[in-house]
């Protein structure tokens, strides 16, 4: 079973072993509106938890995406360049941004569970 | 936006309707207005180009200018040929400060058989504009703001069909014509104009009639409500300036590439604010010029992005930019040194610290489809 955690910047991260898949939440996608462009990291790039790693542009505005955990990027979603609308259509599935090898599992402890994130969104 | 700021925001007569229609309300020009409704900016934009969109632009300032010869008086503040505006006609004009900087851009209309002029200015600048115009012209003309009027814009190729069901006379108007008529039984000032590049109308009505008229128009199958987000992307694709972004008091009409709004007679008579300075810029060429920009990739460049030449030297700035849903590409406008202003010139836009290749491009990015008198239903 994979485990999904959330940040207060509205990223989700799904953990399968030491592989983390990252994207933005349904809430974030709805707030952004129609996504028209996404800038994704290249494989091999190393990032620390909370650092800027991708950019998502909607018709409205540009927003930064932060790495929910530290590690090394292993791949970016190849379909998003041609079909950025996938981010609105299926933000927590086909609209994933990138995968990374997790550096330190203990960083997951700083993130929210699904129940905690749901509460957090309600409070906004 | 903090709550204390929100408390100072004004509401247009259509506020309740926006809420009922699911509008996402944001502060704009001192008002709470919908940035988009349920469909979102992209779909709203495309709908306005394909069918008809209804916009609430009641935040804009409307006023009457009356007096012995209000057109002659107004010409002391603008280089437009106001005296040449015929009965039933409207014209785009620039309000200039004494140094020739652009205080605002506005519409001036002369209604058939009426001695006063009807003005429509930008919402964010209306208080300042009205105080300035009233003060400057006080010996010659009287400015009467119409704070009790709403303004609706109906834009898109189906606008004529939609409006003429409730105002049959609208059908016979051509671009930039203006007339009084009833719309769904409400007395209105209707002009065939707008700010999307599409055929369409602007409808000035009493605040008390606004919601009923808006609902009547929205009941038509072709019409959908459109928010500020799509209003901005539509006007940008149409190459039209947004005051406070593409125009301000430090920018003159020549640099802004709005020389067409200076009347021929006015150029000859050299009798508008800073005329000598502006006509010298016209003959010598301005230091910088407003241009259209097409980024080469898919990444949009937003307002404030620096523009560099291919050696990395900063030569200008983006003043409006985003994604054009109808152009299906990023589009922008901005100012560059005149030597780089020719269409096709290769430039870089500095986005997130990296150069984004782009080219200077002709505007509009999407052809205008106005219903002009001489070329009725010209498809652009």
Interface contact flag, A59 B298, Cβ < 8 Å: no
Q: Is B180 helix (H, G, I), strand (E, B) or coil?
A: strand
Least confident of B7-11, B42-46, B57-61, B114-118: B7-11
B233, B299, B352: residue with CB nearest A59: B233
- Its CATH class, for the domain covering A3-104, is mainly beta
Query: Please, which pLDDT band fits residue B375 given cuts at 50, 70 and 90?
Result: low
Model confidence at B243: pLDDT above 80: yes
Kind of pairing between the strands at A71-76 and B306-308:
unpaired
Can you give the pLDDT at residue B317?
98
Q: Residue B129: which of B152, B96, B162 has the closest Cα?
A: B96
Can you give the pLDDT at residue A91?
98
In contact, B284 and B102? CB cutoff 8 Å = no
A37, A59, A81: residue with CB nearest B229: A59
Model confidence at B290: pLDDT above 80: yes
Q: How far is A106 from chain B (nearest CA, A)?
A: 31
- Which CA distances in Å does B210 have to A101, B32, B173? 58, 16, 22
Q: How far is A59 from chain B (nearest CA, A)?
A: 6
User: CA angle, B262 as apex, B256 and B264 as ends, to 5°?
Assistant: 145
Can you give the pLDDT at residue B157?
98
In contact, B322 and B330? CB cutoff 8 Å = yes
- Homologous superfamily, domain B287-366: Aminomethyltransferase beta-barrel domains (2.40.30.110)
Q: What is the pLDDT of residues B158-202, one digit of tens each?
A: 999 999 999 999 999 999 999 999 999 999 999 999 999 999 999
- CATH topology assigned to domain B1-286: Gyrase A; domain 2 (3.30.1360)
Say if residue B150 is exposed, middle or buried (CB neighbours under 10 Å; 0-12, 13-18, 19+): buried
Query: Please, which pLDDT band fits residue B373 given cuts at 50, 70 and 90?
Result: confident
Q: What percentage of chain B has pLDDT greater than the value 90?
A: 96
Considering only alpha carbons, which residue of chain B is nearest residue A40? B299
Model confidence at B5: pLDDT above 90: no
Query: Please, which pLDDT band fits residue B213 given cuts at 50, 70 and 90?
Result: very high
> Domain residue spans in chain A?
3-104
Q: Residue A22: which of A48, A45, A47, A4 has the closest Cα?
A: A4
Model confidence at B376: pLDDT above 60: no
Interface contact flag, B302 A61, Cβ < 8 Å: yes
* Chain B positions with Cβ closer than 8 Å to A: 35-36, 40-43, 45, 229, 233, 298-300, 302, 322-323, 325, 330, 352
Q: What percentage of chain B has pLDDT greater than the value 70?
A: 97
Residue of A31, A32, A34, A56 to mutate when probing chain B, most B C-beta within 10 A: A34
Q: Contacts of residue B302 in chain A, CB cutoff 8 Å?
A: 61-62
Kind of pairing between the strands at B10-11 and B31-36:
parallel
Q: What is the pLDDT of residues A15-66, one digit of tens each?
A: 999 899 999 999 999 999 999 999 999 999 999 999 999 999 999 889 999 9
Model confidence at B266: pLDDT above 80: yes
B42, B298, B352: residue with CB nearest A59: B42
ipTM score of complex: 0.87
Strand order, beta sheet including B141-145: B89-96, B102-110, B117-121, B61-67, B141-145
Q: What dihedral angle (degrees, nearest 10) is formed by the CA atoms of B108, B112, B115, B117?
A: -10
> Domain residue spans in chain B?
1-286, 287-366
Interface contact flag, A36 B35, Cβ < 8 Å: no
Q: What is the pLDDT of residues B298-329, one digit of tens each?
A: 999 999 999 999 999 999 999 999 999 999 99
């Amino acid at each position: 079973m994979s485990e999904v955690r959330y940040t207060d910047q509205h990223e989700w991260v799904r953990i399968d072993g030491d592989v983390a898949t990252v994207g933005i939440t349904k809430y974030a996608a709805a707030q952004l509106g129609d996504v028209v462009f996404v800038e994704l990291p290249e494989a091999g790039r190393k990032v620390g938890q909370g650092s800027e790693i991708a950019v998502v542009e909607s018709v409205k505005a540009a927003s930064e995406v932060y790495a929910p955990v530290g590690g090394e990027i292993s791949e970016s979603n190849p379909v998003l360049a041609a079909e950025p609308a996938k981010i609105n259509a299926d933000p927590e599935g086909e609209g994933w941004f990138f995968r990374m090898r997790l550096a330190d599992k203990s960083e997951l402890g700083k993130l929210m569970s699904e129940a905690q994130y749901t509460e957090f969104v309600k409070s906004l | 936006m903090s709550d204390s700021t929100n408390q100072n925001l004004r509401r247009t007569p259509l506020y309740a309707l926006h809420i009922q229609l699911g509008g996402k309300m944001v502060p704009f020009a001192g008002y709470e207005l919908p940035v988009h409704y349920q469909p979102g900016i992209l779909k709203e934009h495309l709908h306005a180009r394909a069918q008809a969109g209804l916009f609430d632009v009641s935040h804009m300032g409307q006023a009457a200018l009356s007096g012995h010869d209000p057109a002659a008086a107004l010409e002391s503040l603008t280089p437009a040929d106001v005296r040449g505006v015929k009965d039933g006609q409207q014209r785009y004009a620039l309000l200039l400060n004494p140094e020739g900087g652009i205080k605002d851009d506005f519409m001036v209309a002369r209604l058939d058989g009426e001695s006063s002029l009807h003005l429509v200015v930008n919402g964010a600048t209306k208080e300042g504009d009205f105080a300035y115009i009233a003060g400057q012209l006080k010996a010659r003309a009287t400015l009467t703001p119409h704070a009790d009027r709403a303004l609706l814009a109906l834009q898109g190729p189906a606008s004529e069909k939609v409006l003429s069901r409730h105002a049959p006379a609208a059908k016979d108007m051509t671009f930039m014509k203006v007339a009084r008529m009833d719309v769904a039984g409400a007395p209105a000032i209707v002009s065939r104009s707008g700010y999307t590049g599409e055929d369409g109308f602007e409808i000035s009505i009493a605040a008390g009639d606004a919601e009923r008229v808006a609902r009547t128009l929205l009941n038509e199958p072709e019409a959908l409500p459109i928010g500020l987000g799509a209003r901005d992307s539509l006007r940008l694709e149409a190459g039209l300036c947004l005051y406070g972004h593409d125009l301000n008091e430090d920018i003159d009409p020549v640099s802004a590439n709005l020389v067409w709004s200076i009347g021929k007679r006015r150029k000859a008579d050299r009798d508008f604010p800073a005329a000598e300075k502006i006509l010298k810029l016209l003959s010598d060429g301005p230091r910088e010029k407003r241009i259209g920009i097409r980024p080469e990739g898919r990444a949009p460049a937003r307002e404030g992005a620096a523009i560099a030449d291919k050696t990395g030297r900063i030569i200008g700035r983006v003043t409006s930019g985003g994604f054009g849903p109808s152009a299906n590409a990023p589009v922008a406008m901005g100012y560059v040194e005149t030597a780089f202003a020719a269409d096709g010139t290769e430039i870089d836009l500095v986005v997130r610290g990296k150069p984004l290749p782009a080219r200077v491009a002709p505007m509009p990015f999407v052809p205008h489809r106005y219903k002009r008198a001489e070329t009725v239903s010209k498809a652009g």
